[in-house]
C-alpha cells in the first residue's frame, strides 16, 4: 500500500492542524473545565466541511474518502481528543449507518443537516449488559400497527444530548430467528429515533475521568413510538450492519489515538528543549532523549497501521484485521506516550491546564472505546486460526 499522502491529503491535514492549533487548542482548557461541547467550534468544523468529508456532493458532502476523514480526526486529536471523537463519532456512527443503509427518503430527510454539521446523531448500541456481547441486548421494539413501540435503555452514547442532536439510531430486539439446529437467537434491528420523541429521555451527562468535552449520556426509552418506516436497513440485520461501521470506526479511532500520541510527543519535545536543570536542557540527558525517541517510534508505528487499514478500506480490500491491529497499536501508543510526556513534564504535567494532563486523562478510553484491547486481540487471534 502507498503510505505517502497525496497533495490533496497533505493540504487537508495541514489545514485541520492549523485550525486545531489556532482555534481548538487555545480554548481547550476552558471548555474542558466547563465540561461542555463548544458548539461554536463544531459550527466552524461544519463550515470547513469536515462532517461531510467521505460523502457525495449530492448530499452536501465533500466527495472525499475515509482516509481524509481519518486525517482530519488525527489532526484534531493532537490537541483535543474530545473534539476529535465528536467528529469521528458524528461521521462514523451518526451519519454512516443512514448513508449506507437508509432509504432514499431517510437520506433526504436526515443527511443534509448531518453532513453540513448543522446536526449531530448518535448510535445507541451499548447497554448495561450488552456491548461487545450484543446478543445480550434487552431493548425491545414491537410493531403496533404502523408504529414501533420501543422500551429499554442505552449507555455511553456519544453526541446524544447536544443542542443540535437530531436523532439517535438504536438497536433493539424485534423478534427471534431460528438457527439450523432448531435453537433461537435474538433478531436485532436498527431504528431511527428522532430527539424530542415522547418517552425518549436523555439522562444527565456522565462524570467521566476524561473526554470532558465529548457529549456522552445514558438514554431511556419508555413506550417510545416511531413510524414503522424508521426501520434502518433490513429487519434483523441491525447488528450485522453496525459491525461494518464499527470496523471502519476502529480505523478512525486509531487515527484519533495516533493524534493523541503525536500531541504528547510534540509537548515532550518542546518541554525537553526549554526546561533547564543544572544548567542544561533536560533533553540533553540520554534518558530523556531515549524516552522521547521511543515516543516517536510509537507514533510512527501507530500511523503506519491506521494508514494501512484505511488504504485497504478505500481500495475495497478486506481490512477487518488491519483495523483491529491499528486500534490496538495506536491505543497503546497514546496511553504510553501520555504517561511518558506527563513524567517528562513533572509537576507541571499534573496540572489540568497543560495538554499532557488532558491527554493522560483522555487516553485510557482509547484502549476501551469501540472495542476493548481484549476484543481486538480476540479478532486478531481468530485471523491466525485460534479459537479465541
The catalytic residues are: 370
Write out the three cell numbers for 231.
426501520
**Residue 207: strand, helix, or coil:** coil
Crossing angle, helix 355-362 and helix 81-89, to 10 degrees? Answer: 50
Task: Mention every residue, 6+ apart, whose C-beta is less than 8 A from residue 337.
Answer: 260, 261, 264, 265, 268, 295, 298, 299, 359, 363
Looking up cell 488504504, which residue turns up? 311
Cα dist. 212→114, 207, 208, 264, 358 in Å? Answer: 23, 8, 6, 18, 9
Write out the three cell numbers for 324.
483491529
* 145 phi and psi angles, rounded to 5 deg: 70, -120
Please give the distance of CA 289 from its chain centroid, rounded to a whole number: 32
**Residue 183: strand, helix, or coil:** coil
Looking up cell 467521505, which residue turns up? 54
Residue 126 to residue 39: CA distance in whole angstroms: 25
Residue 124 to residue 191: CA distance in whole angstroms: 10
Residue 109 to residue 226: CA distance in whole angstroms: 15
Closest CA to 60 of 126, 130, 118, 100: 118
Instruction: List helix spans (H) across 155-195.
Output: none
How many residues make up the chain in this entry?
388
**Residue 38: strand, helix, or coil:** coil
Region at 233 (left for phi over 0; alpha for psi -120 to 50; beta for the rest) = left
What beta strand segments (E) does 231-375 contain?
231-232, 276-277, 280-281
Given 3-state DSSP classes, what are the helix, strand and coil percentages for the chain, each rounded to the nearest 5? 55, 20, 25
Amino acid at each position: 500500500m502507498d503510505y505517502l499522502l497525496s497533495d490533496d491529503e497533505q493540504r487537508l491535514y495541514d489545514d485541520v492542524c492549523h485550525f486545531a492549533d489556532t482555534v481548538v487548542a487555545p480554548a481547550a482548557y476552558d471548555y474542558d473545565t466547563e465540561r461542555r461541547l463548544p458548539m461554536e467550534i463544531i459550527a466552524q468544523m461544519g463550515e470547513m466541511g469536515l462532517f461531510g468529508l467521505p460523502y457525495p456532493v449530492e448530499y452536501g458532502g465533500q466527495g472525499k474518502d475515509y482516509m481524509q476523514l481519518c486525517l482530519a480526526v488525527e489532526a484534531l486529536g493532537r490537541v483535543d481528543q474530545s473534539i476529535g471523537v465528536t467528529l469521528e463519532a458524528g461521521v462514523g456512527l451518526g451519519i454512516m449507518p443512514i448513508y449506507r443503509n437508509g432509504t432514499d427518503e431517510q437520506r433526504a430527510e436526515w443527511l443534509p443537516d448531518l453532513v453540513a454539521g448543522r446536526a449531530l446523531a448518535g448510535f445507541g448500541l451499548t447497554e448495561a449488559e450488552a456491548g461487545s456481547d450484543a446478543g445480550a441486548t434487552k431493548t425491545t421494539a414491537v410493531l403496533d400497527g404502523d408504529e414501533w413501540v420501543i422500551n429499554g435503555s442505552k449507555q455511553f452514547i456519544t453526541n446524544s444530548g447536544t443542542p443540535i442532536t437530531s436523532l439517535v439510531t438504536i438497536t433493539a430486539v424485534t423478534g427471534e430467528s431460528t438457527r439450523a439446529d432448531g435453537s433461537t437467537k435474538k433478531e436485532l434491528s436498527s431504528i431511527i429515533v428522532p430527539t424530542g420523541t415522547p418517552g425518549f429521555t436523555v439522562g444527565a451527562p456522565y462524570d467521566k475521568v476524561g473526554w470532558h468535552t465529548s457529549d456522552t449520556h445514558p438514554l431511556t426509552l419508555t413506550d417510545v413510538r416511531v413510524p414503522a418506516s424508521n426501520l434502518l436497513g433490513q429487519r434483523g440485520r441491525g447488528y450485522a450492519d453496525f459491525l461494518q461501521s464499527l470496523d471502519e470506526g476502529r480505523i478512525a479511532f486509531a487515527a484519533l489515538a495516533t493524534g493523541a500520541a503525536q500531541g504528547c510527543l510534540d509537548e515532550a519535545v518542546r518541554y525537553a528543549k526549554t526546561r533547564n536543570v543544572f544548567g542544561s536542557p533536560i533533553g540533553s540527558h540520554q534518558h530523556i532523549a531515549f524516552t522521547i525517541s521511543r515516543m516517536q517510534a510509537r507514533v510512527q508505528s501507530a500511523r503506519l497501521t491506521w494508514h494501512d487499514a484505511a488504504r485497504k478500506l478505500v481500495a475495497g480490500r478486506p481490512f477487518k484485521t488491519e483495523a483491529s491491529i491499528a486500534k490496538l497499536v495506536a491505543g497503546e501508543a497514546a496511553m504510553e506516550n501520555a504517561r511518558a510526556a506527563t513524567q517528562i513534564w513533572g509537576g507541571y504535567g499534573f496540572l489540568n491546564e497543560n495538554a499532557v494532563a488532558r491527554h493522560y486523562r483522555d487516553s485510557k478510553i482509547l484502549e476501551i472505546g469501540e472495542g476493548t484491547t481484549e476484543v481486538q486481540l480476540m479478532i486478531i487471534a481468530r485471523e491466525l486460526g485460534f479459537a479465541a
